[in-house]
Amino acid sequence: MRKSLYSINTTQAMVLAHELRWKIMKLLTQDEPIYAKQLAKKLNVSESKIHYHLTQLRNAGLIKLEGVRSIKQGRAKLLRPVASDFILSLLNSRFESDQSVFDRLIFPKFCTPDSFDAQIIVGSSVPHGRYDAISRDGHLVGELCWYLGTHLGTSLQFSSSDLVSTDQDYLANKQNPLTNLILIGGHITNELTAKYNKTLKEKFNVFFTENKIVSDTNEFSDPTQGLIAVFRNPLDSEKWILILAGVRSLGTKSTIYSIVHDHIEILGEENEFVVILEGTLNQENKISGVTGLLSKSLK
């Protein structure tokens, strides 16, 4: 089930505007997929009536088949809404069903037709690298994987058991095949980021005491600022690299936040680019939003 907003038309809105169908949709959003007999019992209506309304919802493109479960009476179809949030707009809106970072960026570059095809590399949590640094970005991997899982659904799967590894484990494995890479963390804490940093037009400087992102005309040193870079692997033009890294850990969090919350305004139509953005802090000193795009350049 998609977590991003799903734009519906007036016909779909009319299908939703029915008390029983609305109740069915709310039950279908539960963690466990549910089938018609269970819906009938929970809503205290006949199973035939449930099947009728499920058909209406499915024909309108509002629910989809999630799988099949064996029950005593045979096999039951498990159904899910196509999204958790719907929006009806009277104007042309940016909240289109295909407007997500996953659809614009992740799927075309980091997926095969049937699987997610990339390794996620995060800096090691033990002292390592040129600066003997410790990464504090490990928890961000969970947020990114949650986002990927909600969009991959059941139609795609993760292609590798080595989905996530640290930079040290990756570099220690001399047999690593060339693959798509998603790198989390800046050049100080992630040695893979440091390796590819030099190829970027807007990049991190190389001095630990003055950590910042530099371009031809600007410097960005606020802890909440981060860099998102998408480019082809210099060693294999068929493979892609995505860097999500901040001036400090808060900046890295800002880049992850922009992905997970589908801030598509950070993206363009270009295949390769570097963007610099800034996060907003709440009263608990945690990233709670993205202020906006500060800079963008082509790779």
- Model confidence band, residue 107 (pLDDT cutoffs 50, 70, 90): confident
Q: Are residues 36 and 160 in the same domain?
A: no
Q: Residue 285: what pLDDT?
A: 84
- Whether residues 43 and 128 share a domain: the answer is no
pLDDT at 207: 52
What per-residue confidence (pLDDT) applies to 299?
58
Residues 192 and 276 in one domain: yes
Do 81 and 128 share a domain, yes or no? no
- Residues in contact with 293: Cβ distance below 8 Å, sequence separation at least 6, in sequence order: 265, 266, 275, 276, 277
Q: Is the pLDDT of residue 108 over 60?
A: yes
With a cut of 80, say whether residue 139 has pLDDT above it: yes
Average the pLDDT over 3-21 and give the result: 76
The answer, yes or no, to whether residue 66 has pLDDT greater than 70, is yes
Last residue in a domain, options 42, 62, 87: 87
**Quick check: is 94 in a domain?**
no
Is 66 contained in some domain? Answer: yes
Are residues 6 and 67 part of one domain? yes
Mean pLDDT of all residues belonging to the chain = 82
pLDDT score recorded for residue 90: 59
Residue where a domain stops, chosen among 87, 111, 140: 87
- CA distance from start to end of the chain: 34
Q: Are residues 266 and 291 in the same domain?
A: yes
- Interatomic CA distance for residues 36 and 264, integer angstroms: 37
pLDDT of residue 20: 93
Answer whether residue 28 is part of any domain: yes
pLDDT at 141 over 70: yes
**C-beta separation of 278 from 224 below 8 A:** yes
Q: Do 106 and 232 belong to one domain? A: yes
CA distances from 105 to 8, 137, 177, 270 (A): 23, 22, 23, 10
DSSP 3-46: EEEEE--HHHHHHH-SHHHHHHHHHHTSSS-B-HHHHHHHHTS-
Average pLDDT over residues 3-29: 80
Q: What is the DSSP letter of 34?
A: B
- For residues 283 and 289, what is the distance between their CA atoms, to the nearest angstrom? 12
One domain for residues 75 and 150: no
Q: Are 141 and 252 in contact (CB under 8 A)?
A: no
Domains in the chain: how many in total? 2
* 14 pLDDT higher than 80: yes
Least confident of 24-33, 159-168, 197-206, 281-290: 197-206
- The CATH number given to whatever domain includes residue 26 is 1.10.10.10
CATH code, domain carrying 202? 3.30.379
Judge if 158 and 292 occupy the same domain.
yes
Q: Helix 19-28 and helix 47-59: axis angle, to 10°?
A: 80
Kindly indicate the confidence band of residue 23, based on its pLDDT and cuts at 50, 70 and 90: very high
- Summarize the confidence of residues 224-243 as an average pLDDT: 91
Alpha carbons within 13 A on the beta-carbon side of 139: 5
Helix (H) or strand (E) holding 295: strand 287-298
Read off the pLDDT of residues 238-282 as tens digits, 9 standing for 90 and up: 899 999 999 999 999 999 999 998 888 777 677 888 889 999 888
Confidence of residue 92 (pLDDT cuts 50, 70, 90): very low
CA distance 182 to 120: 5
Strand partners, 203: 214
Report if residue 131 sits inside a domain. Answer: yes
3-class state of residue 27 by DSSP: helix
Q: Is there a domain that residue 63 lies in? A: yes
Q: Check residues 74 and 212 and name the one with the higher pLDDT.
A: 212
Q: Which domain holds residue 43?
A: 2-87
Strand partners, 297: 274
Query: What pLDDT, on a 0 to 100 scale, did the predictor assign at position 17?
Result: 87
Shared domain check, 134 and 253: yes
Tell me what pLDDT residue 156 has: 57
Amino acid at 59: N
Q: Where is pLDDT greater, at 278 or 9?
A: 278
Both 62 and 107 in a single domain?
A: no
- Do residues 173 and 207 share a domain? yes
> For a pLDDT cut of 90, what percent of the chain falls above it?
32
Per-residue pLDDT at 94 exceeds 50:
no
Number of Cβ atoms within 10 Å of the Cβ of 15: 18
In a domain, residue 92? The reply is no
Q: Does residue 108 fall inside a structural domain?
A: yes
Domain end position, chosen among 40, 57, 87: 87
Please state the φ and ψ torsions of residue 20, each to the nearest 5 degrees.
-70, -40
